[in-house]
Amino acid sequence: MITLYTLLAVEKVMDKLERRIILDELLPLLWDNKLQDPDVIQATVNIYRVMLTDSKKYGLSVNLMATRVMPSLLPLTMNAALHLDQFTSLLEVLQEMLDTIDR
């Protein structure tokens, strides 16, 4: 529960965080987090969705997406506990990342 509430709070203050904090603290936290709970997965996906809105501001480079973010999210597509809307949201973020990498 603490992880979920932390991620929800981070999502609300994303626009106030410095890029360095996001790169040095937040992204490693998201990568190292053991994502099993569907609500925690959804909160993580929501944070990535915010980061994709302005990837330069948040430091989410194509290299980071391809080498760290997507490899951490792809296995989650096999989580049977995800509801359809959570699964769809995850796939949408992954597709948006693929489109960004493709550009």
Residue 32 Cα distances to 39, 41, 54, 84, angstroms: 17, 13, 23, 25
Distance CA 58, CA 52 (A): 8
pLDDT digits (tens, 9 = 90+) for 45-67: 999 999 998 888 888 889 999 99
Q: 17: which DSSP letter?
A: S
| Global model pTM greater than 0.85 | yes
20: tokens are 């360095």
Cβ pair 61, 52 in contact under 8 A? no
Distance CA 32, CA 83 (A): 23
pLDDT digits (tens, 9 = 90+) for 59-89: 888 999 999 999 989 999 999 999 999 999 9
